[in-house]
Structure 1
Amino acid sequence: MSVQSDVNAEMMTETLSGNQTAEEYAYLDRGGFSSEKFKIELRGLPKFYGIAELKKLMNQKLGLNTSKIKRPKNGSHWLYACFQNEEERTKAIAALNGYSWKGKSLIAEVAKPAPDPLVKKRKLEEDGIGQDKKKKEDDNRSQQQRLAEATTPYYNIPYEEQLQLKEKEIRNILMKFDNEIWKIAKQWRSKIEEQRKVHNGLSFQLLPIQKSPVTEGYRNKCEFTVGIDEETKFPTVGFRLGSYATGTVAVGPIQSLIHISENTKKAVLLFQDFVRKSSMAPFSPADYSGYWRYLTVRHSNHTGDIMLIVAIHPQKLSTEELDKIKKDLVEHFSSDESVACGIKSLYFELLIKRRAGEEAAKPTHLSGATHIVDTILNRQFRISPEAFFQINTAGAEILYQNAIEMSKVDKNTTVVDICCGTGTIGLCFAKHCGKVLGLELVAEAVKDAKANAELNNIENCQFFTGKAEDILPTVLARANEENVVAIVDPPRAGLHTRAVTQLRNTKKVKRLVYISCSPASAVKNFIDLARPSSKTLRGAPFIPVSAVPVDMFPHTKHVELAILFEREDEKSNAPENAEGTDKTNTETEMNVKYEHSDV
């Protein structure tokens, strides 16, 4: 009997015992790919590891084909990995079970698919089991209150108290990082303990949290879901009141939320009016029926211009039917009301359920401008539908200004902007340094970065496309100056381990400013930057000097953090022969890659 057959038999046994029902697992055969169908549980993971590292181990070293990794919020020593079919899952278990990774022996076993949360919740309610304390509390709260608590959990806390909570959380994260360095760097312990007396328990300076200049209506980008309002039963454009995993697909209106601008709210209502007049239903995540999916609104705080990206699931609509929808959208958003609220750009996007999840076609421009323009530190930036741009424009000015001051750049400095996006950070640095070299994975973002340089008449910036861990040596080879400062602003998960290694091993990088929107997720990067030299990390470590939190997300628990690292003295910290190895191996490797690269 196959593993899947065993799971099916177990589910059938539970069905007969009355604990579960076949209906709760019907979604597995509904059509389309479900990450629950061929899932394993992986336990015994090391204390510190990155998801990118684990994917590399599984997909590259062990030759597996992982479609999704799901790490639970309550722990990092186990997770679920999902595969496309039974054969790939069986292969994964055989390869991973008992495998030694980072000194830990992994345990891999079949994981039973979770029951459909919507079906499970409905049955519990029918049986009168779901009326627990949490549900009773929910019943006593208005829909607006539930939505506010989900999106802006600090909305009813005075702003100064919000700042205190965030500063305390940042200090706790940095204390854990500091303690980890104390454990792994015995030779620095006396110095760390001496510095902690100066910096209130930390071995480096933590500056006071920087306030957001704007605390209401600050978001310049929001993605709204189209669904059914559980109170009015009408199609509604807003935010989900919960997740599918908790058995919730209802959508609530966003008019009372304080972090969304008034013109964005007006644009949402205009689209909601269009959806309600349409004969097509919103997409249902319960059975994959329906059409309307999302509305993304991008809003320039400088000009007030708004860009809309309307996303639908096409189901079996013909090309002619899709063209009719596009034509109707253009007509609807050409009204005087649309113009009055600042809608200047309209795009259309198809989202389709595939075996490996959901795919989006490139947004199609329907009408108006192809870009909107916003301003940070007197620099103009064009924003395309898919471009990354800090969601709090005024807060970004505070963040970038702090990064510039921390970096101590001058006209003899080359700034390497890693994960540069559309070039916002690098272009803000440009007038303070000799040269900026930016690198970014998304080709469209690099195209925008080059256009932004031209828009601002900036000539000392170059931008390159590729993964940081792949092209960083090549880009660093272009930095002729001895004084090189790296600016790192990676995605939430942090920088790839290979990119950290290359930064460590390129000794002309003297300082590094690490900007993180999820400091807790970036701690592994912090540790690898600061850990003592080794055969892999040949260059001298980067030691944290100062950190500053910036409140980019008022009324939420999130906070941005910028940390300045400075290279420790090479001679006193590098292992024996490390300096020579760095010269002969790392720089030679970089020059070889440069000769064979079109970067």
Structure 2
Amino acid sequence: MGDEGEKEILEEYAYLDRGGFSSEKFKIELRGLPKFYGIAELKKLMNQKLSLNTSKIKRPKNGSHWLYACFQNDEDRNKAIEALNGFSWKGKTLIAEAAKPAPDPLVRKRKQEEEGIVQDKKKKEEVGPEQRIKDATTPYWNIPYEEQLKLKEKEIKQLLMKFDNERWKLDRDNRSSLEAKRKIYGGLSFELLPIEKSPITEGYRNKCEFTIGIDEETKLPTVGFRLGSYATGTVAVGPIQSLIHISDKTKKAVLIFQELVRRSELQPFSPADFSGHWRYLTVRHSMSTGEIMLIVAMHPQELSTEQKEQIQKELVEHLSNEESAACGIKSLYIEYITKRRVGDEATRPVHLWGSTHIVDTILGRHFRISPEAFFQINTAGADILYQRAIDMSQVKEDSTVVDICCGTGTIGLCFAKHCGQVLGLELVPEAVRDAKANAEANGITNCDLFAGRAEDILPSVLARATAEDVVAIVDPPRAGLHMRAVTQLRNTKKVKRLVYISCSPASAVKNFVDLSRPSSKTLRGAPFVPVRAVPVDMFPHTKHVELAILFEREEDPCEEPQDSDKMEVNECKDSSTDGTAVQENTDAEIEAKTSNAEEIGTESNTT
């Protein structure tokens, strides 16, 4: 290879020695993985059981039985290879070896364009930036809404059939029953209701995160969406004015902020060389009050304290004038974001001006929204989704509802008037503060909320249930529930029904399978059987759809013992962790596990 060729190759890997840490430097390839596993399970194996310091796991698009794991340095990478290579996990022998870093996508794309510049220009002429950004963010933008619903119904049914087939493989004893039900429900062993339409299909998003970059057409700093990913060699940003899922008020707020960025001496942040300052703008829009919250994210680089204070002053002056007030801007935050390493604390938004929260409404309940709070992005769609969850749950006046991953309490508080008690648990302490404030604002007194990981505090929270009829509501992040949380739900016999709400059903299938698989040494309680499912279109013009599934606990043969079966019954009690066993923990143990959450509830929100 000539000097020129070597120079080009070196250029593709120059980013490794540039400022900033890259996870590509210390990467391993892990192969031979089992057919069914979760990333959370794998992280637990690597970081807890084997004491490896994994910083990131990357699953390639074309591989389910292999992936990349990244580390902070050579020592950690070598330790991982030694521990994982030949390790037996779930009946499979793992293969681990060092992986080469990926070439810089931007450099590679530039070379490809230079080699085929005519074809590339022709492509760009055929598909302009406006259509590219529509295709990237709202791929169904040119499909009639009724056709969109049919496509989503079909996709959901195919996914649920895969889940149902997995149940059939695992549950040998009930195959004939499953096959009989499939004849009733058109190929599924449970009922799939027709998809619920979104009440509004345009301007429905109440939260958008925009990237600040350079528009490839105007070459000006622009607040919009990326036209592609860095991995595909694209860092250009396109304007969002033509997108139909974003509200007019949000678009106006973006343009007002963009004026400041364009006249600023500071440049947009560049992921290519880690230079620049302006990174993101998050807009939260209350659909009930019209209020708008802005969260501006910047990379501080080498800015002094005085320079930061000046930027913050300019932001307040620009976003608190009459034009901004007419747009509905009522709250302003700033967040300084740098690249984090494992163990580093996340940065937090700092309140600059206006209200600390905005307020929105679901099913007649008012909810305050903070910068980082989870809130369904389609407020009108959330009315439909939550009402369907209430209807499916068969909740009664004396039931206890356990809201797992409760966020700011939206689902649990909507359930509160239909049941005797609501217990909510959430990982993010700030969200719990919001949930407690929301309960108080709505005059709800039958709700207790706790902060902590579901897999850690679920048993002690469940022990507080006052009713015999306990219904669990699960609305986890996109990746689904941690396996330990699924195990706790399976092993707590008090939970009779479970409504699982997922914004990414494909990611949640493993949870569905584990909830319904036959009992085992780990999943000791009787399985939850899917009874009914309903898709709700929360994301018109996109491929995404929300799915709610009702699971009911199968009858456990150990539940109602006969006198002649005392020995067998005792064995059943010894091998399971039911609600009664959990309640036998001392009050001190329960208080210790949830005291942190209760302290959080008494603190004021200072952000």
TM-score by length of 1: 0.94
Measure, in 1, the Cα distance between the counterparts of 2:359 and 2:129: 35
- Alpha-carbon distance change, 355 to 472 in structure 1, aligned in 2, over 3 angstroms: closer
Matched, 1:456 2:442: yes
Matches within 5 A, 1:35-54: 35-54=23-42
Matched, 1:62 2:50: yes
Partner of 2:602: none
Partner of 1:337: 323
- Alpha-carbon distance change, 584 to 96 in structure 1, aligned in 2, over 3 angstroms: closer
Partner of 1:8: none
Measure, in 2, the Cα distance between the counterparts of 1:254 and 1:366: 26
Shift of 1:581: 2.4
Shift of 1:578: 6.1
> Match of 1:390, as an amino acid?
Q
Partner of 2:93: 105
Matches within 5 A, 1:281-360: 281-356=267-342, 360=346
> Match of 2:593, as an amino acid?
S
CA contact (8 A) 2:11 2:107 kept: yes
Matches within 5 A, 1:76-91: 76-91=64-79
- The SS at the match of 1:346 is strand
Question: Which of the numbers 570, 575, 597 marks the counterpart of 2:593?
Answer: 597
CA contact (8 A) 1:392 1:553 kept: yes
Question: Which of the numbers 122, 125, 144 marks the counterpart of 2:130?
Answer: 144
Partner of 1:189: 175
Matches within 5 A, 1:387-398: 387-398=373-384
Shift of 1:480: 2.4
Question: Which of the numbers 522, 535, 554 marks the counterpart of 1:536?
Answer: 522
> Match of 1:152, as an amino acid?
T
CA contact (8 A) 2:492 2:578 kept: no
Partner of 1:25: 13
Shift of 1:257: 0.3
Measure, in 2, the Cα distance between the counterparts of 1:451 and 1:275: 35
Matched, 1:416 2:402: yes
Shift of 1:451: 0.3
- The SS at the match of 1:352 is coil
Shift of 1:598: 3.8
Measure, in 2, the Cα distance between the counterparts of 1:15 and 1:165: 53
Gap runs ≥5 in structure 2: 561-567, 596-607
Measure, in 1, the Cα distance between the counterparts of 2:310 and 2:456: 44
Aligned residue pairs: how many? Answer: 585
> Which whole-Å deviations, capped at 9, do the CAs of 1:484-528 have from their partners, x for residues lacking one?
000000000000101101101100100000000010110110000
Measure, in 2, the Cα distance between the counterparts of 1:523 and 1:577: 34
Question: Which of the numbers 75, 81, 85 marks the counterpart of 1:93?
Answer: 81
Partner of 2:61: 73
Measure, in 1, the Cα distance between the counterparts of 2:421 and 2:507: 30
Question: Which of the numbers 510, 521, 528 marks the counterpart of 1:524?
Answer: 510
Shift of 1:121: 1.1
Matches within 5 A, 1:83-482: 83-126=71-114, 128-129=115-116, 136-356=122-342, 360-482=346-468
Matches within 5 A, 1:479-518: 479-518=465-504
Matched, 1:581 2:574: yes
Shift of 1:397: 0.6
Measure, in 2, the Cα distance between the counterparts of 1:527 and 1:573: 23
CA contact (8 A) 1:352 1:359 kept: no
Measure, in 2, the Cα distance between the counterparts of 1:359 and 1:470: 21
CA contact (8 A) 2:492 2:577 kept: no
CA contact (8 A) 1:24 1:119 kept: yes
- The SS at the match of 1:416 is strand
Measure, in 1, the Cα distance between the counterparts of 2:71 and 2:56: 7
Fraction of identical pairs, as percent: 74
- Alpha-carbon distance change, 31 to 253 in structure 1, aligned in 2, over 3 angstroms: same
Measure, in 1, the Cα distance between the counterparts of 2:577 and 2:216: 66
CA contact (8 A) 1:439 1:466 kept: yes
Across the aligned residues of Structure 1 and Structure 2, the Cα RMSD in angstroms comes to: 2.0
Partner of 2:552: 566
Shift of 1:536: 1.1
> Match of 1:125, as an amino acid?
E
Measure, in 2, the Cα distance between the counterparts of 1:329 and 1:113: 40
CA contact (8 A) 2:46 2:52 kept: yes
TM-score by length of 2: 0.93
Shift of 1:162: 0.3
- The SS at the match of 1:504 is helix
> Which whole-Å deviations, capped at 9, do the CAs of 1:129-187 have from their partners, x for residues lacking one?
4666x874444111100000000000000000000000000001100000000001010
Measure, in 1, the Cα distance between the counterparts of 2:543 and 2:195: 14
Shift of 1:27: 0.6
> Match of 1:293, as an amino acid?
R
- Alpha-carbon distance change, 136 to 98 in structure 1, aligned in 2, over 3 angstroms: farther
- The SS at the match of 2:593 is coil
- The SS at the match of 2:481 is coil
CA contact (8 A) 1:40 1:110 kept: yes
Measure, in 2, the Cα distance between the counterparts of 1:206 and 1:566: 15
- Alpha-carbon distance change, 119 to 512 in structure 1, aligned in 2, over 3 angstroms: same
> Match of 1:558, as an amino acid?
H
> Which whole-Å deviations, capped at 9, do the CAs of 1:424-465 have from their partners, x for residues lacking one?
000000000000000000000000000000010000001000
Shift of 1:584: 6.5
Measure, in 2, the Cα distance between the counterparts of 1:598 and 1:368: 34
- Alpha-carbon distance change, 484 to 502 in structure 1, aligned in 2, over 3 angstroms: same
Shift of 1:294: 0.5
Shift of 1:573: 9.9
- Alpha-carbon distance change, 152 to 371 in structure 1, aligned in 2, over 3 angstroms: same
- The SS at the match of 2:271 is coil
- Alpha-carbon distance change, 156 to 359 in structure 1, aligned in 2, over 3 angstroms: farther
Measure, in 2, the Cα distance between the counterparts of 1:20 and 1:94: 34
Shift of 1:93: 0.6
Partner of 1:9: none
- The SS at the match of 2:339 is strand
- The SS at the match of 2:234 is coil
- Alpha-carbon distance change, 225 to 256 in structure 1, aligned in 2, over 3 angstroms: same
> Match of 1:31, as an amino acid?
G
Measure, in 1, the Cα distance between the counterparts of 2:315 and 2:549: 45
- Alpha-carbon distance change, 302 to 578 in structure 1, aligned in 2, over 3 angstroms: farther
- The SS at the match of 1:21 is helix
| Stretch of structure 1 that moved more, 13-22 or 303-312 | 13-22
- Alpha-carbon distance change, 28 to 465 in structure 1, aligned in 2, over 3 angstroms: same
- Alpha-carbon distance change, 40 to 19 in structure 1, aligned in 2, over 3 angstroms: farther
> Which whole-Å deviations, capped at 9, do the CAs of 1:92-125 have from their partners, x for residues lacking one?
0111111111111111111100011111111222
- The SS at the match of 1:42 is strand
Measure, in 2, the Cα distance between the counterparts of 1:362 and 1:561: 31
- The SS at the match of 1:215 is coil
After the TM superposition, list the runs of 4 or more consecutive aligned residues in structure 1 that deviate by more than 3 angstroms. 13-20, 129-132, 134-139, 354-360, 572-579, 582-590
Measure, in 2, the Cα distance between the counterparts of 1:91 and 1:489: 37
Matched, 1:557 2:553: no
